Amino acid sequence: MNREPLQVRGRVLSVDRAGEYHHLTLVAPGVAERTRPGAFVALAVGGETSAMLLRRAFSIYRAKASGVYGDTVEVVFAVHGSGTAWLADRRAADEVDVVGPLGRPFTLPTEPVPCVLVGGGYGSAPLFALAERLRERGCPVHMVLGGATERRLFGVLEARRSAQTVAVTTEDGSAGTTGRVIDVLPEVLARTGAPVVYACGPMGMLRAVAGLAAEHGVWSQCAVEESMACGVGVCMTCVLPVRDDDGLVRMVRSCVEGPVFRGERVLWDAVGTVPAGTVGAPRVGPGR
Ligand SMILES: Cc1cc2nc3c(=O)[nH]c(=O)nc-3n(C[C@H](O)[C@H](O)[C@H](O)COP(=O)(O)OP(=O)(O)OC[C@H]3O[C@@H](n4cnc5c(N)ncnc54)[C@H](O)[C@@H]3O)c2cc1C
Ligand code: FES
C-alpha cells in the first residue's frame, strides 16, 4: 500500500455543526486509502489569493475510500482564528486544497489486549477510527471523553456504540462526572486492566495522561497538537523535546516523527523550550 501523502483539490461535501465544533467532510481522491488512525491533513485556507499562506493541520476523524461520493476525508474543528473561521464558512462544492495523510499514526498492539482511549474536546475525533482498528484486532475498547462543557464534548453517542464502556467528564458538570478525564482515568485503568492508553487532546491533558499511565506501569501513546507551519518536516516550527532510545533528548519534529509519541518519552514540562542537555543545543555557562 502506497502511504505517500498526496496534494489534491478537495471538494466540500458538507459542513455541519457538532456542539461547539464543525464537522467538515471533503471529497479528496486517494487520501482515504492511505490513511491510518492518528494521521492528519493540512488544509489550505482563505482561497487562492489569501495572505494566509500556512496550511492548517487537522486530525483525520474518518476516511472512507470509495464511498457514495468517492473518497472522503472528515475532520472536526473548533473555530480558533481566521483560518478555521474561513473553513466554517465553506459550503457544498467549494474547493479546499488538501495535503495528506501526514504524520505517523498510532501503533497498534500485537496482542488482543484491552485498550483505553482518552479524548479531550475535538481530540476524541481521531480515536474512533483507532477504536475500529483495535476492535478488528480483538482488543476490547474503553473510552474516556472529556470537555469543559457538554457542548465541547465530541462523539459521546458514537463512543457508546463503538466502545465497551464510556466514561464522560465535563468541568462544569453539564454531562457525566464533574471534573477532568484524569480524575476518572485511574478507576478505568484499574477496572479494565488495560496495558495501553491512547490519548488525543490539549497538551495539558496529554501530559497528565502520560504521567498517570507511567505511574500505573501502562504504556501510553499521545497525539500532540504542536503549532505547525510547513507540516512536512522542513521548517522545524513543530519541534518538541523527546527522549530517544539512546536516552538522549532530541528536538523532534511532530509533523513527521509525530504527531503520535510515546507518552513517557516526551519532556512535557519542557515543551516550548530547548532543555539543557538536548543534543545540538548550545552549551551555556563556563567553558563556552
Ligand atoms: C497535528 C495537529 C492536529 C490538529 N487537529 C485539530 C483538529 O482535529 N481540530 C481542530 O480544531 N484543531 C486541530 N489542530 C489545531 C489547528 O491546526 C489550529 O486550531 C488551526 O491551525 C488554527 O488556525 P486559525 O487560522 O483558525 O487560527 P490562527 O490562530 O490564526 O492560526 C495561526 C497559525 O497558528 C497555528 N496554530 C494556532 N493554533 C494552533 C493549535 N492549537 N495547534 C497547532 N497550531 C496552531 C496554525 O499553524 C496557524 O498557522 C491540530 C493541530 C495539529 C498540529
Ligand atoms: S511543521 Fe515544519 S517541520 Fe514540522
Whole-number average pLDDT of the chain: 94
Phi/psi at 223 (5° precision): -95, 110
**Percent of the chain with pLDDT strictly greater than 90:** 90
d(CA 8, CA 75): 16
Q: What is the mean pLDDT of residues 257-279?
A: 94
Other CB atoms within 10 A of residue 196 CB? 20
Q: Which ligand is nearest to the CA of 79?
A: 1
Q: Residue 110 domain-assigned?
A: no
- For residues 146 and 58, membership in a common domain is answered with no
Is any atom of ligand 1 closer than 6 Å to the C-beta of 60?
no
Residue 267 pLDDT: 97
Asked whether the beta carbons of 238 and 253 are under 8 A apart, the reply is yes
Q: In what order do the strands lie in the sheet with 21-27?
A: 56-59, 40-43, 95-102, 6-18, 21-27, 70-77, 62-67
User: Where in the sequence is the domain holding 218, given as residue range(s)?
Assistant: 115-270
80 and 122 share a domain? no
R_g (Cα) of the chain, nearest Å: 19
How far does residue 26's CA lie from ligand 1's centre (Å)? 18
Span 114-155, pLDDT tens digits:
999 999 999 999 999 999 999 999 999 999 999 999 999 999
**Within a domain: 108:** no
Confirm whether 277 is domain-assigned: no
- Residue 150 inside a domain? The answer is yes
Ligand 2 centroid – CA 226 distance (Å): 9
Question: Are residues 68 and 131 located together in one domain of the fold?
Answer: no
pLDDT at residue 106 is higher than 90? yes
Chain center to CA of 170:
20
Does residue 237 share a domain with residue 98?
Answer: no
Residue 181: inside a domain? yes
- In this model, does residue 54 exceed pLDDT 80? yes
- Pocket lining: 40 vs ligand 1, CB cutoff 6 Å: yes
Which three cell numbers, joined as nine digits, stand for 73?
Answer: 476525508
198 and 262 in a common domain = yes
Q: Return the pLDDT at 287.
A: 44
pLDDT higher than threshold 90 for residue 277: no
Confirm whether 83 is domain-assigned: yes
Q: Rounded CA gap, 4 and 135, in Å?
A: 26
Residue 2 has a pLDDT of: 75
Look up residue 254 and give its amino acid.
S
Statement to judge: residues 61 and 188 lie in one domain: no
Q: How many domains does the chain have?
A: 2
- Using 50, 70 and 90 to split pLDDT, how confident is the model at 288? very low
* Residues 24 and 120 reside in one and the same domain: no
Q: How far away, in angstroms, is 227 Cα from ligand 1 center?
A: 6
Identify the residue whose C-alpha is closest to ligand 1 atom 38: 227
Ligand 2 pocket (Cβ < 6 Å) reads 228-231, 233-238, 253, 255
Do 140 and 209 sit in the same domain of this protein? Answer: yes
Q: All 3 cell numbers of residue 10? A: 478537495
Residue 182 sits in the same domain as residue 231: yes
Contact in structure between 19 and 160 (CB atoms under 8 Å): no
Q: pLDDT per residue over 83-103, tens digit each? A: 999 999 999 999 999 999 999
Q: Hey, is 71 helix, strand or coil?
A: strand
Q: Give residue-wise pLDDT tens across range 166-224.
A: 999 999 999 999 999 999 999 999 999 999 999 999 999 999 999 999 999 999 999 99
Question: Residue 132 is part of a domain; what is its CATH number?
Answer: 3.40.50.80
Could you give the maximum distance between any two Cα atoms of the chain, in Å? 66
62 bridge partner residues = 74
**In a domain? residue 238:** yes
Q: Are 220 and 196 spatial neighbours (Cβ–Cβ below 8 Å)?
A: yes
Query: Could you tell me if 82 and 139 lie in one domain?
Result: no
Same domain, 265 and 191: yes
pLDDT one-digit tens code per residue, 14-49 = 999 999 999 999 999 999 999 999 999 999 999 888
Tell me: do 35 and 67 sit in the same domain: yes
Distance 254 CA to ligand 2 centre (A): 7
Amino acid of residue 244: D
The cell 464537522 sits on which residue? 23
Threshold 0.75, pTM exceeds:
yes
CATH number, domain at 47?
2.40.30.10
